[in-house]
Amino acid sequence: MAILKCHSACLREFTSQFPRPSRADNYKRRNVKWRSPQAAVVPNFHLPMRSLEVKNRTSAEDIKALRLITAIKTPYLPDGRFDLEAYDDLVNMQIENGAEGVIVGGTTGEGQLMSWDEHIMLIGHTVNCFGGSVKVIGNTGSNSTREAIHATEQGFAVGMHAALHINPYYGKTSLEGLVSHFDSVLPMGPTIIYNVPSRTGQDIPPRVVNTVAQSPNLAGIKECVGNDRIEQYTGNGIVVWSGNDDQCHDARWGHGATGVISVTSNLIPGLMRELMFGGKNPSLNRKLLPLMEWLFQEPNPIGLNTALAQLGVVRPVFRLPYVPLPLAKRVEFVNLVKEIGRENFVGEKDVKVLDDDDFVLVGRY
């Protein structure tokens, strides 16, 4: 009991050191305008996971010079694993026909259907086999900043030349959050920011791009909003690649775009190089527009996957939820190949319609 009394007395003595609020204090608090507290900035105490070796090191200026970058397709074996032999053939055909860079594991390459282990392995494989002949740009973006940082560290560790970063999708953030997200990955190396509101549900506005453009590692923007936006950036000295194949000719020769990050070049890399390097060529552009429209009648990469299978350069294997285009659309593709010329397309086999039963759909892999 004596111990309890002593404890009670000590507590009274401790609390008496703090003044009790008066009624006047309460009145003051009610009438003071509330202000939002400043967010605490937690210093980044992590050391960068980086190497200073320069075997495959490249600068943002090197990336800015690229005109034709192919968002490369990822082919599969019948059980859904990567078909690296077919992949190597695809990349070799890009190099032979003048592509200067490849996006590995982007939307076209179905990075969204890969584990991060698969993703980083494919980036490393591409660097190991082709890094001396083509710039390897790894899609290491994520809607989680933590994942984007980790994947980008690993991508540069295995030798990629640059990173592609999307803005956080689905769980969207504020404009200030976009700046913080990109600022978290830009210090790691050359970076292309990818703006495609139709997929992310959020536009990256010019005020965000102009802010992050202060980083020397920003190589440029892959812009899908349109050519007016492209011209807005190029007028301010920011490098832009068109993300829309059907607009890339006009973007390149009429709005100041550096080039294109292309899906169509998976099929016709030589003609896409001519479109980006050969000067203004509206007749060639008109010739290719029907193919581009065919490719994007369903969400990418459904059309591309179907076309490459019909050309015989990849197995007709789809990772779900992607499924091939229907028979009537496959017949249309055969006719497009004949109109443009089979010699302009990748591969050497005759183009085929393929039966529905020829396609393999894989849900577990």
Task: Tell the residue number behind the tokens 């812009």, with chain if given.
Answer: 223
- Geometric angle at alpha carbon 116, from 320 and 156, rounded to 5°: 135
Which of these is catalytic: 73, 222, 233, 322?
A: 222
List the structure tokens of 35. Answer: 């202000």
Instruction: Identify which of 46, 62, 50, 44 has the alpha carbon closest to the alpha carbon of residue 156.
Output: 50
Contact assessment for residue 175 and residue 149, using Cβ atoms and an 8 Å cutoff: no
Contact assessment for residue 119 and residue 105, using Cβ atoms and an 8 Å cutoff: yes
Contact assessment for residue 318 and residue 299, using Cβ atoms and an 8 Å cutoff: no
* DSSP H helices in 135-237: 145-157, 175-185, 197-200, 206-212, 227-234
Find the helix or strand (DSSP H, E) in which 103 lies: strand 101-104
List the structure tokens of 38. Answer: 């400043």
Which of these is catalytic: 73, 87, 135, 194?
A: 194
Q: Is 169 a catalytic residue?
A: no
Q: How far apart are the first and last CA of the chain?
A: 70
Q: Is 28 a catalytic residue?
A: no
Find the helix or strand (DSSP H, E) in which 165 lies: strand 162-166
CA dihedral for 242, 246, 248, 254, sign (positive or negative): negative
**Which active-site residues does the annotation give?**
194, 222
